[in-house]
Amino acid sequence: MVKKIFGQIYIWFILILMYLPILVLMAFSFTKAVYIGEWNGFTFDLYVSLFQKQEIMIALGNTLVLALTSALVSTVLGTAGAIGAFYMKKRWRDSIDTMTQIPIVNAEIVMALSLLVLIVFIDSIFFHGQGSLKGFWTLLLGHVVLSIPFVYTSVKPKLQQMDPSLYEAALDLGCTPRKALRKILIPEILPGILSGFLLAVTLSLDDFIVTAFLSGPGLFSEGDISTLSTYIQSIIKKRPVPPELRALTTIISVLVILTVVGISVYRNYEEKHKKTHSRMRGI
């Protein structure tokens, strides 16, 4: 009994420690006070002025484009790698699994610095050290390299849970490998693919180190690409964080919560639908 009470207290303490700062930030997004702790009355003005701040909108646009593009590329490459490794011999599969785990447990700064050294080396060989290689594409490369291992580890368990005879049966029944992949394999591992995609988006949105090391001129601008993380870091050196960012983080938090709840509801619906279908087939 004592252990149960202590366990519940510990769980609630951790949950409060995790979510209380977010709730405080969300509460102060409804006041125009510059500093958290000051309350100047309830208002939605921060949400209105948020979309009038050009610097924030540019940083948000760069962040979303980079996150969605890198997540899409990472999902395709990570899923293809997981499928290919799954059908390899055990020795090769174990080697690939080990190499995939290294970037996950390795320090992010090591990856960022190694990519920077590689880019500087290629730039010195082919572009004579003019520094023209760094830009959106190198930043995209860094985020893809950062996200691929996490997509791989999200897809791999779904492949292990899948009945391998389904794919083989599709081939025996006349499906081409491409059609069997599209009709049988992909639907079976789709939850893992979606989880990997969402995880890749989150990693890219949250990244600062790789972005700070590899950022350069944008596709349509001469200045360095500014994402939300690098924009906030540059702001706090000079002045307090703009209050409008509290409104932006509240919007992001609400969207994330709605996404998680939507996925949970969909999974519960699918499980109930499968159980109902199985019972009807049994009858």
How many structural domains compose the chain? Answer: 2
Q: What local confidence, expressed as pLDDT, does residue 132 receive?
A: 64
pLDDT per residue over 153-179, tens digit each?
999 988 888 877 777 788 777 778 788
pTM assigned to the model? 0.84
Give the SS3 label for residue 249: helix
Q: What local confidence, expressed as pLDDT, does residue 272 receive?
A: 78
The answer to whether residues 236 and 250 belong to one domain is: no
**Residue 194 φ/ψ region, left for φ over 0, alpha for ψ in the -120 to 50 degree band, beta for the rest:** alpha
The two tokens of residue 225 are: 């690409």
The answer to whether residues 169 and 75 belong to one domain is: yes
The answer to whether residues 137 and 232 belong to one domain is: yes
Give the SS3 label for residue 217: strand
Closest CA to 65 of 211, 258, 223: 211
- CATH number of the domain to which 88 belongs: 1.10.3720.10
- Between residues 128 and 34, which one has the greater pLDDT? 34
Q: What local confidence, expressed as pLDDT, does residue 201 receive?
A: 92
Neighbours of 152 (CB within 10 A): 26
Which residue range forms the structural domain that includes residue 79?
Answer: 55-241
